[in-house]
Structure 1
């Protein structure tokens, strides 16, 4: 009989990665909140193959000192141990502070478009989908080759997009405009669920961090909504004025998350992706 190794439990992973003792804790899906004997409560996330990239992203975002993120207490390829975020109701003041902080985060910059966080892997993830961090100097080329077309091909291969629809998306890629924007330090998966509102303002979780165009983070906030979004964007624009035509470019930047959702969740997002493609150029 072949013996099978028992899967590691969250408390065991937390103790191994932090060197601290767990007093008690419960489990909910991939997340476990554990009380430590020193009085802290830590969150343990089981993310096989993705935890190291998330940890590197959190550390890179934290280094900017612009928007709060949970502190990383330990991580390996499969497990991540971070602070628990105590949530509160979002206020207008918190939203405006988030807008200014997001502008500062983006302004912290990245070495190039597609640059991963320091010590972060080239092969990362956005949600449950693979995301490859390949460096390029040209934003239109990089955005087409590494943020749009891989998901078009995956959607065609799975039968979610037709060949003619793929052609329409490929043609949109040829119309992506050049930009004078420097590579920004992006959260990379900035939908409403990854912006928690704590006692002291916004806290960002679950990044797919990389160097990119700053409007892409903002476009994802527009796509899935956010409390006081108008105040977030207004405060951002006051701190770091957006280039003319920003609102007209939002659908172009939404192509990336829309195609990721098409691959992950099916045909319901394909029509939105095609509508966004038609708006380009």
Structure 2
């Protein structure tokens, strides 16, 4: 983006705002903000309001369409605040998504309690099958959500095996680890509890929630589907975990089966394999430790 001068930036933002709202919207100010590892993002100030704009060079043209559908799916539950999507599309070789800008109002004293309760409410939404009626992305990697009746089959066939196969293809893991993973999958039927599919955010870590102007949580950057709710909570532990009050109030609202803590590394095989594929071999050690524990060397 450094090649842009200020005029080009403003022209791009005004052009996509016109496409979205069907009228000219003057841009008073535009400042780049954190947008994750894949997209560029900006806070765009206009007389019509402040907007959050994400954009990239349109390598994956449907990424923002899928993100908008996922945000709408979560928002329609009324379980937890999700920023509104105003529009998405392509302009000048760039794909873009325009959202409500979430102003930080400072953390409410009950922030973690209501966050835990709200996530439990989201997870109470269910359907007969694991998966979703459209595919989406986790990061820049495609996430296939073909429906399965059996949660373990879905977890293996649509989550673990595709990521392990991609890592093998790209020489990020060797055939030996791939084969040990294959020996691990049949064990899952005795390791994971049987639960109904739950609607989950799908990429819930500290970088994907915001504190809004009311001091409550707003969730962004989802990769939703109906899956194991324990997998969602396991993911929150992957990069440091959330406040204890969050877990206590979730558990009070929607209790887990016993020994959830022992299952956390199993669920986190999926996000760890995704991170291996996106960012490299530094994410392999916890995968190797888990597989060694269950299938040996």
TM-score where L is the length of structure 2? 0.84
Quote the residue 2:140 is aligned against: 128
Quote the residue 1:10 is aligned against: 13
**Equivalent of residue 164 in structure 1, options 176, 179, 187:** 176
- Distance in 2 (CA, whole Å) between partners of 1:207 and 1:154 is 22
Unpaired runs of at least 5, structure 1:
1-5
**Equivalent of residue 30 in structure 2, options 26, 29, 54:** 26
Distance of aligned partners of 1:199 and 1:155 in 2 relative to their CA distance in 1, 3 Å threshold: same
- Distance in 2 (CA, whole Å) between partners of 1:172 and 1:188 is 23
Count of paired positions: 269
How big is each residue's C-alpha offset from its partner over 1:35-81, in whole Å with a ceiling of 9 and x where there is no partner?
2333x111111153200111011111111111111011112373211
**Equivalent of residue 243 in structure 1, options 238, 252, 257:** 257
Quote the residue 1:65 is aligned against: 78
Alignment of structure 1 residues 175-214 onto 2, 5 Å: 175-177=187-189, 179-200=193-214, 201-214=216-229
Distance of aligned partners of 1:96 and 1:167 in 2 relative to their CA distance in 1, 3 Å threshold: same
How big is each residue's C-alpha offset from its partner over 1:9-32, in whole Å with a ceiling of 9 and x where there is no partner?
233122202335332132526212
- Of structures 1 and 2, the one with the larger relative CO (CA 8 A, separation 6+) is 1
Is 1:233 the counterpart of 2:247? The answer is yes
Deviation at 1:92?
5.4
* Helix, strand or coil at the partner of 2:118: helix
Distance of aligned partners of 1:279 and 1:59 in 2 relative to their CA distance in 1, 3 Å threshold: farther
Distance of aligned partners of 1:110 and 1:72 in 2 relative to their CA distance in 1, 3 Å threshold: farther
Quote the residue 1:95 is aligned against: 112
- Distance in 2 (CA, whole Å) between partners of 1:89 and 1:56 is 29
Quote the residue 2:5 is aligned against: none
Distance of aligned partners of 1:115 and 1:278 in 2 relative to their CA distance in 1, 3 Å threshold: farther
Q: In the alignment, is the contact (CA less than 8 A) between 1:252 and 1:279 conserved in 2?
A: no
Distance of aligned partners of 1:27 and 1:132 in 2 relative to their CA distance in 1, 3 Å threshold: farther
Quote the residue 2:154 is aligned against: 142
- Distance in 2 (CA, whole Å) between partners of 1:90 and 1:224 is 20
Distance of aligned partners of 1:131 and 1:10 in 2 relative to their CA distance in 1, 3 Å threshold: farther
- Distance in 2 (CA, whole Å) between partners of 1:252 and 1:88 is 36
- Distance in 1 (CA, whole Å) between partners of 2:157 and 2:69 is 24
Quote the residue 1:217 is aligned against: 232
